[in-house]
Amino acid sequence: MKTQSGITQHQTKAMRLKLERWTSLMGPLLIVTDEDGVLRALDFGEHESRMERLLRDYYGDYTLERGKTPAPVLRALQDYFDGKLEAVAQVKTATGGTPFQREVWQALRSIPAGTTMSYRQLAAKIGRAGASRAVGAANGANPIPIVVPCHRVIGADGSLTGFGGGLANKRWLLDHEARFACVPGRAPNLL
């Protein structure tokens, strides 16, 4: 059966997603995975409505049921909070979004833990030097913070600027990474 838009009904089947509420070192996190165990969304407990809006924007019709997060995803997150910052680099992710947004999100994953980059630098990194505002908008629409580290992007003057999870959470993540990161040219922090 075709709808007014010409899409057959079987093509609009709702994506089935699982949600686990997990308590991290920084507070409650919302972890959303698909039927294959791939991470689709991650957000801070107090930002559930933002997460749901992004899921609607990227997937349209979806179902969200309580479920367990696959052990490798939880282990990587726990390792990250335990100071093994690169553990989240191996987490498989998938997102909706435009090709440009996905390009920005992929570039975010290449910013080393313990370092930051300005929106302008990130735009230049993806070969779009004049697109810092568009990069900022894509950064703000990232559905998988921490794993796709949008918190590592700051203002050109070094200031903390917008973060969907709130500036206090951005500061916490940057401070956490500064404690544990091994950045070339900087003595390790032995706290």
Name the pTM for this structure: 0.85
Tens of pLDDT along the chain (191 residues) come to: 333 433 333 345 789 999 999 999 999 999 999 999 999 999 999 999 999 999 999 999 899 999 999 999 999 999 999 999 999 999 999 999 999 999 999 999 999 999 999 999 999 999 999 899 999 999 999 999 999 999 999 988 888 887 888 899 999 999 999 999 865 544 444 33
Residue 155, exposed/middle/buried by CB under 10 A (0-12, 13-18, 19+)? middle
Which structural domains are found in the chain, ordered by start? Answer: 10-180 (1.10.10.10)
Percent of the chain topping pLDDT 70: 88
For residue 58, how many C-alpha atoms fall within 13 Å in the half-sphere facing its CB?
A: 22
Q: What is the CA radius of gyration of the chain?
A: 17
Number of C-beta neighbours around residue 55 at 10 A: 21
d(CA 128, CA 123): 5
Task: Copy the structure tokens of residue 22.
Answer: 């997990």
Contacts of 182 (CB under 8 A, 6+ apart): 114, 188
Q: Which residues are the active-site residues? A: 150
